[in-house]
Amino acid sequence: MKILKGVVASSGVVIGTACLYAEKVEEEIPHYVIEKDRTKGEILRLEEAIKKAKETMGSMARAAEKLFDKRASEIFSAHVLILDDPVLLERMKDLINTKLVNAEHAVSDAFEEYVKTYEKSELHFSELSHDVRDVRNRLLVSFGNLAGHFECPVGERQPVIVVSKRLTTSMVLNIPKEHVLSFVTEEGGFTTHATILARGYNVPVVFGVSVEVNIKCGDKIIVDGFDGKVFVSPDQATLDRYSNKISDIQKRKAVCVSVKDAPSKTQKGLRIKLKANISTPGEIELLRGLQYDGVGLLRTEFLFLNKETPPSEEEQFNMYKHILEEAKGLPVTVRLLDISPDKLPPYLNLPPQENPDLGIRGVRALDFFYDIYLVQVKAILRAAVFGDLRVLYPMISDMSDIDLFKKLIVSAKTSLKKEGKKFKKSIKEGIMVETPSAALLLDSLIKNVDFVNIGSNDLLQYTLAASRGNPLIEKRYHILHSSLVKLIELVVKSGKTHKKEVCLCGEVASFEEFYPLLLSVGLRSFSVAASKLSSIKCELLNHKRPDKTISKRLHKAVSKEDVDRIFFR
């Protein structure tokens, strides 16, 4: 028996057969020299492959919306934007024309240059490097090259533990959900796009495991997604121990199923608000039949991406009204367009920025695209007539930011009055606490709004002064860093003082393992992906009482490994 240690990205315990999944596209790339008169033909092959890749991505995005309820649309929108980069396209054509190489060779070389150039010039780009290579592989597959595949046929027939060098978005979406018991990989991270999608399968995900030399197809293995251990060819005693553990987990889940239609509560009867994050229009359908407390965060970027012109007021009005109707009287919180480097529609032109994460975001974008925000607010006010629709202001830093958004609301109302359109006169307003500044000033800010959402993803990156999703962060800092918890404690205290709701809607809220801490610091409202609602509700039901020592232990933790031991022991 071999025991391998890794890092837990999604918890659980499974016993099954290992099946290696290979994505050897880069190893299969044909490289050859062409005649001068064949360059036009190679460029045509390139253009056809790009077209096919976009069509495939579109199909995968639509399929993903039915399986996942978080970021699938944003991920594929980002991938399409990479393919649409005119600099990249011209470089591929230039390599064909000047180096007289085949289209696949040009794709490989151009993408590698693309990655290296931007990794050197933009720290933010490092979080996209995995996606860029994934897009490259998707494009190469479109030429007819070998796609990712299981190295043993058992993976095509039955549920297996998927073992691979790295986890990619294409891999997650190419493998049927019913065939996955767990993902075990050598490379990975908590906040990569692939991990976020994989967590939507509600199976154990463990990365940082030395798989290539230790696991082969057909091996019987145990994945302990609580302790981050992988047992290869386990002995009988270990099998018996984990079989009993799985049985206990199943009994616990059975209890949760029996009360699935009841409101979210802890074992001691403490009522918890559990809401849903919505990133795409199809996700609202995933909430049908689930018991939840409303939409805590409706991301509106999907309305603006993949378009040549901004969405009209009527288009937005109809979408907000539709989601309100689907929510059946529950509150829906709409976040205004949150412009960022990886969510920038092609028709919005910004001046060059040395560090986009510290540049034009939140209310700063209002100065550049006022008319677009005015149209969005008008649509929100009109739709609010049909239910409890609330507006959320992104990237607030101080009171002047709130004032500018409030003036925007006034302007929208004035415009609607002149046009004779029906709208809601009073709407609840909230702010995203995503900057240390907002957290530190919250006692004064919160007096001017009705509620607060904590965006832990951005709050973490601005507190640590390092881009979220950057591999350096995954290796060096924990997603639940002590400094983040101290800021959350500060925000919760302010909310209690002023009797205003504080809702956590960032990525840390999707980890069931973190709830003993989150509840202990006083949080009572959360918004998560629809796919996580049931498992987190079950975690709450089995939660006995807040652990008053867990926060102290976290603040004493010296390393990322110390933090992991607290939550994933």
Of the residues 19, 505, 538, 543, which is catalytic?
505
Give the DSSP H/E element, type plus range, for residue 452.
strand 451-454
CB 525 within 8 A of CB 273: yes
Q: Is 299 annotated as a binding residue?
A: yes
CB 226 within 8 A of CB 248: no
Task: Identify the CA nearest to 171 among candidates 133, 219, 115.
Answer: 133
CB 530 within 8 A of CB 445: no
Q: Cα(569)–Cα(567) distance, rounded to whole angstroms?
A: 6
Q: Is 133 annotated as a binding residue?
A: no
CA dihedral 443→444→447→449, nearest 10 degrees, is: -100
Q: Cα(152)–Cα(181) distance, rounded to whole angstroms?
A: 16
Task: Identify the CA nearest to 118 among candidates 307, 297, 341.
Answer: 341
CB 536 within 8 A of CB 274: yes
Q: Is 503 a catalytic residue?
A: no
Q: Is 481 a catalytic residue?
A: no
Residue 87 half-sphere exposure, CB side, CA atoms within 13 Å?
8
Q: Which residues of 241-266 are buried (b: 16+ CB within 10 A; e: fewer)?
A: ebeeeeeebeeeeeebeeeeeeebbb
Q: Cα(161)–Cα(203) distance, rounded to whole angstroms?
A: 10
Q: Is 553 annotated as a binding residue?
A: no
Of the residues 193, 478, 481, 543, which is catalytic?
193
CB 412 within 8 A of CB 378: yes
CB contact set of 352 (below 8 Å; sequence gap of 6+): none
CB 198 within 8 A of CB 225: no
Q: Is 45 annotated as a binding residue?
A: no
Task: Identify the CA nearest to 127 among candidates 548, 392, 469.
Answer: 469
Q: Is 468 annotated as a binding residue?
A: yes
Q: Is 137 annotated as a binding residue?
A: no
Binding-site residues for Mg(2+), please? 434, 458
Binding-site residues, please? 299, 335, 434, 457-458, 468
Catalytic positions are 193, 505
Binding-site residues for phosphoenolpyruvate, please? 299, 335, 457-458, 468
